[in-house]
Chains A and B, each alone.
Chain A
Amino acid sequence: MTPDAPAPSPATGSASPVTGASASPAVPGAPVPPPAGGAASASTSPRAADIWRRWRGTLGVLAVMIVFVTATVVLSQPRPGGYLDPEATAPGGAHALVQLLRDQGVDVRPARTVGEARALAVPGSLLLVGRTEFLADENLLREIDSLPGDRLLVEPVTQALQELAPGVSAGALTDVKSRAPECEVPAAVKAGTVMIGGTSYNPPRGWTGCYNGSLISGAADGRTVTVLGSGEFMTNRRLAEDGDAALAMNLAGSRPAVVWLVPSAPQFQWDGEQASLQDLIPAGVKWAALHLLVAAFLVALWRGRRLGPVVAERLPVVVRASETAEGRGRLYRSRKARDRAAAALRTAALERIVPRLGLAGEVTPAGVVAAVAMRTGQDAQQAGAVLYGAAPLDDAGLVALAGDLDILERQVRDS
């Protein structure tokens, strides 16, 4: 859309008064406001060049900002990935170890799914299995079990432990700290103390346990199976501490090739026969829906385009002159100002009654009461109470007083 609607120009001036004596018409036939008929019209819509000139600075700054931000993000962002991810450069990742292994000539083959692992695993390779919580499926675990090569299980969950290292049972949970090997496994002996801990396992007969059971190793089904209670020492964060790097290299690099199966999302056995609702919708419908969305957007553009700018106008104040009276009435009511209300009513009534009495000389309350009593035939005391009495004690008294004043006034008028 070309933003060719000019900014709303408030049509002020309608309320501007004629200022100064000179501006007012003092001569007959005088200045009438209209501009000369046939005044040339001027287009107020900006040309394309004007629009470009107005926006190019903003666009330039925006472009520079986008380029700068993109470059910063791309260059400095740690590569994403979770715990023990072979690509991740975050503290929990295992990119450093993988790099070290590759430098030593070990063929590291990252696999995200069981299917990939099956394609990569060859006899004589090592299968590293981590994050087994994503593999909690019997079929998947059985499939992993059927893969060739030795095993290195990192923090297996109970189900995975039962399936992949039968006979091993998990024991107590211990802290991750610097521990001595205290065993005969060559890889551990060479590495010395290592930051390890986590689950300690009870090695079955014929197996060896190191680091207080956090590393156990043994033979099962004709292959070497190693179970680690904690994979912490293999992460980028811990690799430089103690003998972590040595142990990790010794374990993961024990074979010329290692299949690194660390899934980053839950894995499911796919039978390939079930299909979700989404798959059942033909592609044409989805695209048609997208097309309709575009059509709706076009309709919105059609309806949203104004025919010219909004016209603003200076409006005069709207104040009812009676607002002061109404406000005073409400104030009397809220403060229960019966005395003032009664005084106002009496004053007004007297102002109307006294001129009709034809009193000569000074007007005194006693004189007025006597005259009123004489004119109306009412009891003087009663008339005096109405006209000059005490303020009413309650609301009903005030309403009654207003009525009494009216009656008295009418009687004086009619007499």
Chain B
Amino acid sequence: MALTGRTGLLAALSAIVVLFAPEPGLAVAGLLLLLAALVVVDLLLAGSVRELRLERSGESRVRLGDAVQVTLTVANPGRRRVRGLIRDAWPPSARAQPRRQALDVPAGERRRVVTTLTPSRRGDRESAGVTVRSVGPLGLAARQGSHAVPWTIRVLPPFLSRTHLPAKLSRLRELEGRNPVLIRGQGTEFDSLREYVAGDDVRSIDWRATARRNDVVVRTWRPERDRRVLIVLDTSRTSAGRVGVDPASGDPSGWPRLDWSMDAALLLAALAARAGDRVDFLAHDRTVRSWVSGASRTELLSVMVNAMAPIEAELVEADAEDMVAAIIARAAHRCLVVVLTDLNPAALEEGLLPVLPQLASRHLVLLAAVSDPRVAAMAEGRGTLEEVYDAAAAEYLRSGRRRMTARLRQHGVEVVDALPEQLAPALADAYLALKAAGRL
């Protein structure tokens, strides 16, 4: 049960009666008893909360940064009207609005209550129950009760880098030859023969075909299709570090490396799917966290965001040996393995470097990492002593990353090290460059 402000007001006002009563002690006892009786009557006359039937409907998926409406249908099968307040409770990061709403359901009817969620984090948000406060006809007291009405909202990665997709797709079309420029070197797979037009590279003239026909014939090339791309997301402790600015909430404490990596992975997946390659996805720290394989080209993105949504960075050291074993077990043929991790010299030296030759000998490995704009800003610091020391520390870390990059390149590994906002386009460019060079 719960009291209302009216009860307190009534009690306070009746103090005036006590002040002028001939028998104040009796007046106090009498008035309080009367108030108690009124409260009890009100409670008895209030509509039952327990008998309410609640149902949910609405969206169950939302992209981070967007709002989603959850509808709650409150049916009142009881004999009395239920009037009062309702609160549809969600975890704080779901940012449910409004927090409490007025409710008025006459006996035997239903009412709809809409709550808008604007989640501030990726992942699954589960409803924390619905609480109804049913005020009696006198407005003095209320019955209160909670119902569990399960519902889960899956908050998907926002895929902010989709703005880069058209530009990268037009680059891809250039490679594929749908654009008029068709020069040798833009692909290595033989496509077709066609007549020579002025401007074609003379080196691409196919003399044998020219001899068979009376025209000069050139070969056209196109990039390879049906190659495999395996995107590997490192979800270990290094992916928990926050860099840049959280694009969803503008939080200056930053966005986890994991989320930036996911963004880059989604752009790469979208691009590779359009380019006709098959994309698989693996999330790994000490064990396999998620594995997407064999999704059709049209479904790939939705399956991937769905798989990514609940993944959180785990505060454990990555098990690179297990990761390489998992990759080798899943990728039978040669493919492009894109590892999204951090270029942390200490972590890589202990983890990935010793097992990298195993992987690099079978697959083409591309390592993509988010660099920290804050460290870059620190390295520029000059003037005061503090800034110079900070700059020295930042330069020390950047040298470590550069040396690690050089060592990885010696192993034949491609490295993309870019600032958060530039990682996705840089990774897409690296992919396109590999494709153009026919290295897939």
Whether A associates with B in a native complex is: yes
When distances are taken between beta carbons in the complex, the residues of chain A under 8 Å from B299 are 28-29
Q: Are B146 and A319 in contact (CB under 8 A)?
A: no
B1 and A1 contacting across the interface, CB-CB below 8 Å: yes
Q: Contact: A44 with B12, CB < 8 Å?
A: no
CB contacts (< 8 Å) of A14 on chain B: these are: 91, 93, 123-126
Set B54, B144, B386, B396: member contacting A41, Cβ < 8 A: B54
Residues in B whose Cβ lies below 8 Å from that of A284: 18-21, 24
Please provide the chain B residues from 331 to 382 with a CB less than 8 Å away from any CB of chain A in the complex: 372, 374-375, 378-379, 382
Partner of B28 from A2, A24, A287, A398 at Cβ < 8 Å: A287
Contact B292–A24 (Cβ < 8 Å): yes
Binary B-proximity of A324-368 (CB < 8 A = 1, otherwise 0): 111011111100000011101101100100000000000000000
CB–CB A26/B293 < 8 A: yes
Q: Is A184 an interface residue (CB 8 A)?
A: no
- CB atoms of A286 and B389 under 8 A apart: no
B291 and A21 form a contact (CB under 8 A): yes
- Residue from B15, B50, B151 in contact with A43 in the complex, judged by beta carbons closer than 8 Å: B50
Chain A residues within 8 Å of B60, by CB: 32-34
CB B10 to nearest CB in A, in angstroms, measures: 8
Contact partners of A30 in chain B: CB under 8 A: 303, 306
Contact with A along B65-93 (1 / 0, CB 8 A): 00000000000000000000101011111
Query: Does chain A have a CB within 8 A of B288?
Result: yes
B44: shortest Cβ distance to chain A, in Å?
13
A322 touches which one: B2, B296, B302, B372 (CB < 8 A)? Answer: B372
**Residue numbers in A under 8 Å from B184 (CB-CB):** none
B152 touches A328 (CB 8 A): no
Given the known interface contacts A298-B8, A298-B11, A326-B390, the answer about A39 and B241 at a Cβ–Cβ threshold of 8 Å is no
Give complex CA distance A16, B394 in Å.
Answer: 35
Residues of chain B from 289 to 325 with CB closer than 8 A to chain A in the complex: 289-296, 298-299, 302-303, 306-307, 310-315
Take A17-B289, A325-B378, A406-B382 as given contacts and tell me if A41 and B372 are in contact as well, using a CB distance cutoff of 8 Å. no
Which residues, 297 to 324 on A, are CB-close (under 8 Å) to B?
Answer: 298-299, 301-302, 305, 307-309, 311-313, 315-324
Nearest A residue to B280, CB-CB: A26
Tell whether A173 is near chain B: CB-to-CB under 8 Å.
no
Does A189 lie at the interface of the complex (its beta carbon under 8 Å from any beta carbon of B)? no
Contact present for A341 and B389 (CB under 8 Å): yes
Please give the distance in Å from A328's CB to the nearest CB on chain B. 4
Chain B residues contacting A29 (CB-CB under 8 Å) are 299
A136 within 8 Å of B by Cβ? no
Asked if A44 and B56 sit within 8 Å, CB to CB, the answer is no
A288 at interface, CB cutoff 8 A = yes
Q: Whole-angstrom distance between the alpha carbons of A320 and B246 in the complex?
A: 12
Of B2, B287, B290, which contacts A302 at CB under 8 A? B2
- Tell me whether B435 is interfacial, beta carbon within 8 Å: no
B391 touching A402 by the CB < 8 A rule?
Answer: yes
Task: Count residues on chain B whose CB falls below 8 Å from chain A CBs.
Answer: 115
A298 engages B7 (CB within 8 Å): yes
Q: How far is the CA of A308 from the CA of B31 in the complex (A)?
A: 31
**Chain B residues, CB < 8 A from A322:** 243, 372, 374-375, 378
- Nearest B residue to A286 by beta-carbon distance? B24
- Measured in the bound complex, the distance between the Cα atoms of B380 and A403 in whole Å is 11
Residues of B near A395 (CB, < 8 A) are 385
The residue from B3, B52, B150, B391 contacting A305, defined by CB atoms under 8 A apart: B3
Do A24 and B85 touch (CB < 8 A)? no
Contact of B55 among A33, A39, A319 (CB under 8 A): A39
B1-45 contact mask (Cβ, 8 Å, vs A): 1 or 0: 111110110011011101111001101100110000000000000
The answer on a CB contact under 8 Å between B241 and A320 is yes
Pick the contact of B311: A17, A39, A315, A325 (CB < 8 A): A17
Which residues on B sit within 8 Å (CB–CB) of A166?
none
Q: Is A45 interfacial (CB 8 A cutoff)?
A: yes
A19→B235 CA distance, assembly (Å): 12
- A307 contact set on B, CB distance < 8 A: 85, 87, 100, 131, 133, 144
- Considering only CB atoms, which chain B residue lies closest to A315 in the complex? B93
Most A CB atoms within 10 A — which of B4, B52, B126? Answer: B126
* B397 interface hit (Cβ, 8 Å): yes
Please measure, in the bound complex, the distance between the C-alpha atom of A19 and the C-alpha atom of B253, giving whole angstroms.
28
A320 to B373, CA, bound (A): 11
Which of B53, B240, B394 lies at the interface centre, i.e. has the most chain A CB atoms within 10 A of its CB?
A: B394
Would you call A292 and B12 a contact (CB within 8 A)? yes
Q: Which residues of B contact A28 (CB under 8 A)?
A: 295-296, 298-299, 302-303
Contact A32 B242 (CB under 8 A): no
Q: Which residues of A contact B397 (CB under 8 A)?
A: 324-325, 328
**Among listed A4-12, A93-101, A216-224, interface-contacting one:** A4-12
Q: Which of B61, B152, B396 has the most CB of A within 10 A?
A: B396
Given contacts A34-B151, A35-B151, A292-B12, contact A19 B289 (CB under 8 A): yes
For the complex, is B164 an interface residue (Cβ under 8 Å from A)?
Answer: no
Asked if A38 and B293 sit within 8 Å, CB to CB, the answer is no
Check if B379 sits within 8 Å of A348, measured CB to CB.
yes
Which residues of B sit under 8 angstroms from A296, Cβ to Cβ?
Answer: 8, 12
CB pair A35–B152 under 8 Å, yes or no, is yes
CA distance A403 to B18 in the complex (A): 84
Given contacts A283-B24, A305-B144, contact A294 B393 (CB under 8 A): no
* A290 lies within 8 A of chain B by Cβ: yes
User: Considering the chains assembled together, what is the distance between the CA atoms of A366 and B117 in angstroms?
Assistant: 65
A residues in contact with B315, CB < 8 Å: 317
Contact between A291 and B91, CB atoms less than 8 A apart:
no
Known: A21-B288, A25-B303, A311-B128. A291 touches B385 (CB 8 A): no
B19 near A285: Cβ-Cβ < 8 Å: yes
B399, A317: Cβ atoms under 8 Å? no
Chain A residues lying within 8 Å of B18, measured Cβ to Cβ, are 284, 287-288, 291
Given contacts A25-B303, A28-B295, A298-B7, contact A329 B390 (CB under 8 A): yes
Sample 27 A-B pairs with CB under 8 A, ordered by A number.
A11-B126, A14-B124, A17-B311, A21-B291, A24-B291, A25-B306, A28-B302, A32-B306, A35-B150, A38-B57, A40-B55, A42-B148, A285-B19, A287-B21, A287-B24, A287-B28, A291-B11, A299-B5, A301-B8, A302-B2, A302-B4, A305-B144, A307-B85, A313-B93, A321-B375, A328-B396, A348-B379
Binding site for A on B (CB under 8 A): 1-5, 7-8, 11-12, 14-16, 18-21, 24-25, 27-28, 31-32, 49-50, 52-57, 60-61, 85, 87, 89-93, 100, 121, 123-126, 128-131, 133, 144-154, 235, 240-243, 253-254, 256-257, 287-296, 298-299, 302-303, 306-307, 310-315, 372, 374-375, 378-379, 382-386, 388-399, 402
Known: A320-B243, A325-B390. 8 other contacts (CB 8 A): A19-B287, A43-B147, A287-B28, A295-B8, A301-B3, A316-B121, A329-B392, A347-B399
A residues adjacent to B (C-beta < 8 A): 1-2, 4-6, 9, 11, 13-21, 23-30, 32-35, 37-45, 47, 283-288, 290-292, 294-296, 298-299, 301-302, 305, 307-309, 311-313, 315-326, 328-333, 340-342, 344-345, 347-348, 351, 395, 398-399, 402-403, 406
User: A-B pairs with the 8 shortest C-beta distances?
Assistant: A308-B131, A321-B241, A34-B60, A287-B24, A28-B299, A295-B11, A341-B392, A299-B8
